Amino acid sequence: MTTGAANEDKDYVQSLVRGLDVIRTFSQYKPRMTLSEVAQHAGLTRAAARRFLLTLTREGYAATDGKYFFLRPKVLDLGFSYLSSLPMWEVAQPIMRDVVNALQESCSLSVLDGGDIVYVARVPTQRVMTIGLSIGSRLPAFCTSMGRTLLAGLPPAELAVFYDQVKLEKLTERTVANMVALKDAIEASRRQGYTLVDQELEMGLRSIAVPVRNRRSEVLAALNVSTHQGRSSIEAMKTRFLPVLLDAAERISASLPQ
């Protein structure tokens, strides 16, 4: 979203932003689009959409069959640039596999982006009923165990911005959706060093998360294990899951480059 002020700034490269918006326009619901459809969805003139699409096509990020345009796998290289730039990304995955082997539940790693958590790694369990999340998936931070863990790790000024901007919404009957109770929950998360969330995102879903810190004790990411309320009691999550998670987070931290 470009603002009027940004448009007038000589340091703002509008054609880069518009080109990225063209990429983002493609999705599950619009995987193949004509030039006119891209122009419409990206809010561009046909002439501008054509220049962006031809440029993306020439560079291998998109292709066309003459009528429809679609994205090419080279777009994944962009996301891969981000993932491979995360210091914990490579070291975390074998450690997360150990967590899944020990607990037989899926293990995920995420980072904060505004009011969302974004999954950067996930090792699913072999269970039939698992959750359809993968790298790049987003969930609201305020009602997830990883989200509250990451919020608890923010410097006070950044946390204040989050509180100013967050839209609370009851996603289940258990969602903590009032500001006082949410602040209490995030404070508790900071004091305890872990966050347990019981069916606030979806009924039946429970998860527990711990922070992954760097050598300066800053929170880089959150690591969690999620389960079904019928499979694991809250007590079992604290006595059996939590020590495994804390140990894994410690091993990831210890493996980080200095």
**Token pair of 144 as six digits:** 């997830």
Q: Shortest gap between Cβ of 127 and its own copies (angstroms)? A: 9
Distance between CA 219 and CA 213 in Å, rounded? 4
Closer residue to its own copies, CB minimum distance, 205 or 220: 220
Q: Which is nearer to its own copies, 82 or 163 (CB)?
A: 82
Write down the least CB distance from residue 184 to its own copies, Å: 27
Q: Where are the beta strands (DSSP E) in 1-84?
A: 33-34, 62-64, 68-71
What gap in Å lies between CA 248 and CA 103, rounded to an integer? Answer: 12
Alpha-carbon distances of 65 from 21, 24, 55, 56, 70, rounded to whole Å: 21, 20, 15, 14, 9
- Shortest Å, Cβ 238 to its own copies: 25
**Which residue's CB is nearer to its own copies, number 79 or number 204?**
79
CB nearer to its own copies: give 41 or 183.
41
* Residue 121 CB, nearest approach to its own copies (Å): 8
Sites of contact with its own copies (CB under 8 A)? 6, 10-13, 15-20, 23-28, 30-32, 50-52, 54-56, 58-61, 70-87, 89-90, 93, 97, 100-101, 111, 113-114, 118, 120, 123-124, 126, 128, 130, 132, 134-137
Report the C-alpha gap between 200 and 4 in whole angstroms. 38
Question: Smallest gap, in angstroms, from Cβ of residue 128 to its own copies?
Answer: 8
Output 215-219 pairs: Cβ under 8 A, ≥24 positions apart.
215/253, 215/256, 215/258, 218/153, 219/149, 219/150, 219/152, 219/153, 219/154
Minimum CB distance to its own copies, residue 162 (Å)? 15
Of 32 and 170, which has the nearer Cβ to its own copies?
Answer: 32
Based on CB atoms, which residue is closest to its own copies, 126 or 235? 126
CA–CA gap between residue 31 and residue 243 (Å, rounded): 43
Quote the CA–CA distance of 154 and 168 in Å, as a whole number.
19
